[in-house]
Amino acid sequence: MIEIEDATLAVRVFGRGPAVVLIHGFPVHGYTWRKLLPALAETFTCYVPDLPGLGDSGWSPRTDFTFTAQARRLRALFESLGLTSYSLVAQDTGATLARLVALGHPNRVGKLAMLNTEIPGHRPPWIPLYVHLAHLPGAGALFATLMRSAWFVRSPMCMGEFYSDARLFDDPGNLDPYVTPLVRSPERMAGAMAYLRGAEWDVVDRLRDDHARIRAESLFLWGEDDRTFPVGRAEAMCAQMGARSAFVRIANASLMPHEEQPAAVLRHLIPFLRGGG
């Protein structure tokens, strides 16, 4: 647990070797990397933070949840950990933060691997509505009630776009670690609502131009069945990058390719992080 500015970040560390930081998205936490970590930890030192509002990290009413503040806080975290050179692996909102980190630490971030994340000019279904609702009194209680329904959780309105293979929803080890804390803990749900309220769409849209300023070599690993962040738009975004970039479609995967097709993700990710592209 490391205090950084107005939050306390929970960070787990695995393995030995060059530093790789894995940044989760919304509404999950560091557990999302469980299927990649055993292989990555054989070669790399893997740092897995929980972002404030999600997982085990602490926050308070004065915590700034904007994307800009979250990225600034991550850069300060990496400095406190003594990371002078590192790679980033990130998904969803975590990959938006990772891009902001790379812009702020241009000489430290060597590789940037992104999975199914925000696209400039695109708004994912439902999320803008939920950001609006998160500002209303009682929003946390409403979402907690909705998430007690397995139908709602598995619907496109919640986590139904996580996986292409519907059988994965039947394994309690997949969604329960995300859903149960939010349903049982009003504080956890309040943190998730605060995280939602921090969304900055103007920052996302500015990435259309800012991508060209990112010096890190980038790799996009995209679940091609994703309807949250459509693969065609994502391929067009890849062309905006200023440094060397590559785009890989992950077949039979949706929003969470690292959970749904970890072997396919690792097949491309490990050579990329090792420097082989």
Question: Tens digits of per-residue pLDDT, 207-229?
Answer: 999 999 999 999 999 999 999 99
pLDDT of residue 276: 57
Measuring CA to CA, how many Å separate 101 from each of 48, 97, 155? Answer: 15, 6, 33
CB 191 within 8 A of CB 63: no
pLDDT of residue 177: 97
Return the ∠ at Cα 36 (arms to 81 and 268), rounded to 5°.
105
Report the pLDDT averaged over residues 192-210: 97
Question: Tens digits of per-residue pLDDT, 9-29?
Answer: 999 999 999 999 999 999 999
Report the pLDDT averaged over residues 251-259: 98
Distance from C-alpha of 77 to C-alpha of 101, rounded to nearest angstrom: 11
Annotated domain spans of the chain: 2-124+162-175+199-274
| HEC assignment per residue over the chain | CEEECCEEEEEEEECCCCEEEEECCCCCCHHHHCCCHHHHCCCCEEEEEECCCCCCCECCCCCCCCHHHHHHHHHHHHHHCCCCCEEEEEECHHHHHHHHHHHHCCCCEEEEEEECCCCCCCCCCCHHHHHHHCCCCCHHHHHHHHCCCHHHHHCCCCCCCCCCCHHHHHCHHHHHHHHHHHHHCHHHHHHHHHHHHCCCHHHHHHHHHHHHHCCCEEEEEEECCCCCCCHHHHHHHHCCCCCCEEEEEECCCCCCHHHHCHHHHHHHHHHHHHCCC
What percent of the chain shows pLDDT beyond 90? Answer: 99
Nearest-Å Rg of the Cα atoms of the chain is 17
CATH dotted code for 2-124+162-175+199-274: 3.40.50.1820
Question: For residue 87, which amino acid is it?
Answer: S
Of 5, 28, 174, 171, the closest CA to residue 76 belongs to: 5
Q: What is the pTM of this model?
A: 0.96
